Copies of this chain bind each other. A is one copy, B any other.
């Protein structure tokens, strides 16, 4: 089945990002198609490559990036929410005159329309948040 996932909280502070990650892994293992994972609200903070969690803890962003590479997942960070919270890719950084960017590999920044499209195209939308 074609599934979409919405993640509304950043990593570590709430379990939402972990739960979404485990859910996506299980869905992929069962042969379902993940149409898109959309990161909204503080969820955009999943997409920073600047995070360095303690070595004995999981690195949620790295896990998303690996999962995206292995399974060609579409990880979309909401542009409006990302601007508010300081998540930038190279284009955005240039456009906004910021020195450098922090987006992690496998994530792309795009508009809220991508969330609505996920709702239309996927057969189920599963939301993880606070």
Contact = CB atoms under 8 A, between A and B. Distances in A.
A98 to B, nearest CB: 6
Q: Quick one: copies of this chain in the complex?
A: 2
A24 to B, nearest CB: 21
Contacts of A86: 45, 48-52, 61, 102
A105 to B, nearest CB: 12
Contacts of A51: 83-86
B10 A50 contact: no
Interface in A9-55: 10-13, 41-42, 45, 48-54
Given A96-B52, A100-B99, A102-B50, A85 B42 contact: no
Contacts of A96: 52
11 contacts: A10-B10, A10-B45, A10-B85, A11-B85, A12-B85, A48-B85, A49-B98, A50-B98, A50-B101, A52-B86, A100-B100
